Structure 1
Amino acid sequence: MALPPLDWATLVGFVGMIMIVSAYGYLTAKDSPDPFILHGTNLVGATLLAVSLLVHTNLPSLVLEAIWISVAIWGLTKAIMARRQSK
């Protein structure tokens, strides 16, 4: 079985995947991770993967990325609210 070509959508997907895995590594490595870095990186990574999946459709993975985007937005919203309350 031949590998598909590395077109722009596949490369965008790889960048998104690297960002999500890096965010998880950051979460694991830090005792007190910055929620803006963690959730912001996840949001951008999941969005890039979703763009890739819109071109090379895989519906279960696209739904997973939509959920991942929602969780990242929720995390960013919580972080913004906590920052406002601490001021």
Structure 2
Amino acid sequence: MTTSDILGSIGVTLLLIAFLLNLRHLLATESKWYIMLNIVGAGLCGYSSYLIKFYPFVILESVWVIAAFSSLLKRVPRETLNN
């Protein structure tokens, strides 16, 4: 098994765990853990695809990471300007 195979397998496993836990109503799509599983899983899948030079999937996974990361940023509490 190559490095790209291992990384891709771990990434896909993380994405599927998040999906399965969501289907079983054990993890909400808005939860920090769900979002983090998506960021790390998609990141590993994207990097694995980059290693094997499969660029369409690199683009797909990059967009997935950006979407999940933006969702995570929405959860960060904002400092009030009146401090």
Q: Assess same fold via TM > 0.5.
A: yes
Choose from 17, 20, 24 the match for 1:22: 17
- Rounded Cα–Cα distance in structure 2 between residues aligned with 1:35 and 1:49: 21
Query: Which amino acid letter does the alignment assign opposite residue 78 of structure 1?
Result: K
4+ residue runs over 2 A deviation:
none
- Rounded Cα–Cα distance in structure 2 between residues aligned with 1:81 and 1:67: 24
Q: TM-score, normalised by structure 2?
A: 0.82
Identity over the aligned pairs, expressed in percent?
Answer: 20
- Rounded Cα–Cα distance in structure 2 between residues aligned with 1:14 and 1:32: 22
In the TM superposition, what is the alpha-carbon distance from 1:81 to its structure 2 partner? Answer: 3.5
- Gapped runs of 5+ residues in structure 2? none
**Aligned-residue CA RMSD (Å):** 2.1
Choose from 50, 59, 69 the match for 2:55: 59
Count of matched residue positions in the alignment of Structure 1 and Structure 2: 79
